[in-house]
Structure 1
Amino acid sequence: MATTQIQAYATYTRDNFDTLLERYRSALKDLGCHDQGVLQWLAELHWPQSEDDSFGDIYPAEFTLTPTASITLVCTGIDVALYPDIGAPTLEEEPASWIGINLQFESETLQEEIHSVYKSGIGGAIWHTLRTLAKAFPELGVYFTEEWQENRSWRSIVEEAGDPWAFELAIFPRKLAPFFESVPAGFDGTVTKEGFGFAQSNRWSIAPWTEAE
């Protein structure tokens, strides 16, 4: 089963780990999530106590979001992953440690056909979701990706290598503009309070930000 995901990232430490998860939990509530199972799961995730503990976890059950009045998004789960010491080291500082939080979806619930355009209304709903998460996680932006694109934009930025344009739809802060300076053919863009938004134009019958109006 093909999947897509909305990926949010932040640098983490032991001190801010719980705060980041609470921020994500609040964002889900703002997006209309009332599922106490997933909200409680996020509240109970804690910093690993030993090397034997898992650096991350998965919530494998369905829950729904209602980012717009007319569209309900069915999420198939969330995964939280910790990536210690990722990035390009410099003389001044060590690589950062990152947390990645992914909302998972079955692609067939969002697309007309696999690898085709997204269904009417989905673009606006995903756009609202990205904007809500981008407000909560402004550090690196939020990316809506297919399986083969997973983590590629994030890695290209933090490791300063590779192609950052590996997404279906994204919002990233203005400070990252140098990474996206050369816009490839097939992408449309817009400006938001959260930064810059870009979408692969052949995947949406209407630009997501237009559909969200």
Structure 2
Amino acid sequence: MTYFADLTHAYSLFDHDTVRYEWGTLDYRPRYERLSVGWLDASQPFDTGPVPDGFADALLDIVGNPAVNETRGLHRCEFCPSDTSLIADPRSDGESWLAFREIRVPARPGVMFAAPALIWHYVSAHAYRPPAEFVEAVQHYDAGWATEPSPWIPPDGERAVWGRTARNVMLRCVRCGQKFELHYTPDEPGRRALSLATQQLREQCPDHGKEWEFCDKVR
């Protein structure tokens, strides 16, 4: 998985953020700084230890509330055995993966914590202890940051309405690096793109399973 040191401005996966709503998605270039937390890698040490009671549950509540940057690849937990390394959202009965989305947590004016949704798994299964600033921000989290009008959401964002707005994105096979375009019209949050991407990869890279990652939108 991509590694960024905690509390650095190293986040560089995408120059835009995409937030999912009931009506569709809003894609925008953030005007806030993105402060990295929880981008762990097996080759790098990380802090471990106890976290406040209820913190893991509060963190899980943030996943999908709102959903940020969905369908940008299926990333496995590098600290789990390979046969159990694809982590499901415990609220989804195994039908949705944590590893294809991110979360945003307001830190202070103009600064947003950027973390993978897998951070909940790292905390609950691998004793990861996030920085104290992040823990406090999670405990005081308000999902209203994504409700427009909002100082966090620029007015010039690009909207895509479910079932109406066509999307073109570029995907890449994790194993061989082959890139391919995916054309679809979203009619269900996240799942249609995920299933179509997996199907298309199996057709173009039949020997490489279903591991893919999002490259970028096709302009």
TM above 0.5, yes or no, is no
Structure with more of its chain in strand, by fraction = 1
Normalization by structure 2: what TM-score? 0.28
Structure with more of its chain in helix, by fraction = 1
